[in-house]
Amino acid sequence: MSVLLASESSRGGNFASFDVELWQWGAFVALIVVLLVADLVLVHREAHVITFKEAAIESAVWISIGVAFTGVVYAWHGGQPAGEYISAFLLEKSLSIDNVFVWAVIFSYFAVPAAYQFRTLFWGIFGALVLRAIFIFAGIALIERFEAVLVVFGLVLLYSAWKIAFHDDEEVHPDKNPVLRVVRRFIPSTTEYDGQKLFTIENGKRLATPLFAVLIIVETTDVVFAVDSVPAVLAVSHEQFIVFSSNAFAILGLRSLYFLLGGMQDKFRYLNLGLGAILAFVGGKMLVSYFGHLHPPTWVSLVVIVSVLVVTITASLLADRRDDARAVG
């Protein structure tokens, strides 16, 4: 069956929709695997502390790859799918910043040596891709079968917007994670690190190292964040390939973004307000789409996302600079 740009989506022809053959899905997944393995084997083969300069360069490369894929989508299926892809990519990337700050708390709590953090995040990213794929295909299937689920997603996003904007200063307590408690109860573990290994041998017994516990926490926190981010992206596009590819490219660069921003949470004081505003916008967009049969053009979503990010990040940096100037004075 040839790949055709079909009519638009189920509700009013507002979303891009096209067929993706099995070999094309396979080629895309193979690309993601190659990028992951190349990053692990060629760039980070030896455990080492990631410097700020190294993280900045790698972040720029990963973001460039994600943005450049917009051109692939445009050449493949035209302007609307490309617009949905870049909007979804920027939305997912911005919402993932909170992930980065939570990782910093987790690594600090478990006192994970800086040299071993990248390998842990590699497996965390790998698991996140699988979990996001499940969330995405399940979410789209629900929308196609029960369109009223848009109301549920919209309300979830509005609640998440309020929580992120005004209640995101709550402390993260990794020790209270219920999944971690189950793991510690049923999987023999040690409190000693053995390089970047997830399991080690002590006295002839195979034991999980603390890095395995960290990996479990990272994966479970991603599930929590996916509850917000996946419905948010589904407000931008209902095409499975667009939603998954934008998520994949946004997630791939999170490791380097962590090493770039992990210790800079205080410098982005207004970011939570910005993320809350973005979630409120996409949540409201879902509700308006269902009840009002209105769907703003894709470029409106793109403008709102970029504008909110630019304003909140700029305001945060200016406020930080002003505080530094007052401290010196």
pLDDT tens-place string over residues 181-219: 777 788 888 888 888 888 888 888 888 888 888 888 888
Do 136 and 230 form a contact (C-beta atoms < 8 A)?
yes
Task: Give 278: exposed, middle or buried? Use CB within 10 Å, 0-12, 13-18, 19+.
Answer: buried
- In DSSP terms, 18 is beta-bridged to 5
Task: Please tell me the least confidently modeled range out of 169-178, 202-211, 213-222, 234-243.
Answer: 169-178
Instruction: Give percent above pLDDT 90 in the chain.
Output: 18
User: Tokens 């909170």, residue?
Assistant: 98
Please say if the pLDDT value at position 233 is more than 90: no
Reading the block at residue 60, the tokens are 């720029």
Predicted local confidence at residue 292, as pLDDT: 67
- Quick one: pLDDT at residue 84? 93
Check residue 2 and give its pLDDT: 34
Task: Provide CB contacts within 8 A for 26, sequence distance 6+.
Answer: none
